Amino acid sequence: MTESRIQTQRDREKKRRLRSQQQQTVSTPHTVWTQRARSISSETAEMTTSTNKQREVYNQQGFLSALPVLNHRELTEARHAFSKLEGELGEAYTQYSLHNVHLQYPWVMGLTKHTRVLEVVQAVLGPDVILLDSRFICKYPTLKVADIQENDGGGNKPDGKDGENVLPYVAWHQDMRYWGVAGGPVLSVWLALDDSRKENGALQVIPGSHCSGMLPHRQATRPGNMLSVNQEIPEELVQAEEAVFCPLLAGQMSIHDGFLVHASDANTSQRRRCGLVIRYVPTCAYPTEDPDRPRKFQATVLACGDDQFNHFSNKST
């Protein structure tokens, strides 16, 4: 074989390899895009199925629990920021008086609009949601009455007899008794900054009790009730034997319907139980007039979606 023929074969081989590489270059993006599209489609289907299941369970039971929200970094930052407030304001204040501070601290606003929070909230309430109210609630292991009475934040102050230690608790109640909202449901979130266990006063709920409508409430007789108007559902109307605890790890959340009967015991442990309570309503909801307890919603924020109703005219975005 002559040298020229050998060179010709080499040239042909180079051209074949080049064409092959060009074909691979053209087809690879399409293959990657197809695989990615299939993956996204699968993830979307799984998310839709999960969302539908969450909505179904919530409608039946009136609550969902142990839903993951904050990652390690987010939780660490939130706990650090809250610790600074404890240092500046004192535990007697941060127990119950950090009310609607989402308007004051961007990091709190960030928690109320966290993607994982709003995904679940929208699954229940729909795409257009208003942040109605927020409050940090902390159950410290023990607080003396003299310290608690320094709290000037407007909430009920657990009381007892001259210097007696009183462990704050939350009596059986329904949130809708207090909120003065109609036209749509109220959804409450507890976003845990601390692990929430039975020993440190975790949330207790009566599954399905949201289907019973509004129950009578009366003035609580036991000292220490943290509810702002010191009310409770009479014990004979509470099916306490059906109660279930909703333990949470720090960074998780629970949500419950405004008519769900719920409570939480005193913290009998040596560990703090702190969380951010956030109330949401669909934009179709509106405030009602309650002559016994007039309410002003001065901290409402459009959390997501659009508001075509403007029932809360003073809301911000």
Cα separation of 311 and 308, whole Å?
A: 9
Given this model, what pLDDT does residue 48 score?
A: 62
How does pLDDT run across 140-161, given as a tens digit for each residue? 987 443 344 444 333 444 444 4
How does pLDDT run across 121-145, given as a tens digit for each residue? 999 999 999 999 999 999 998 744 3
State in Å, rounded, how far the first CA of the chain is from the last one: 82
Report the SS3 class of residue 111. Answer: helix
pLDDT at 8 over 80: no
Q: How many CA atoms lie within 13 A of 39 on its CB side?
A: 6
pLDDT at 218 over 50: yes
Classify the C-alpha dihedral 273-190-186-203 as positive or negative.
negative
Global pTM value: 0.78
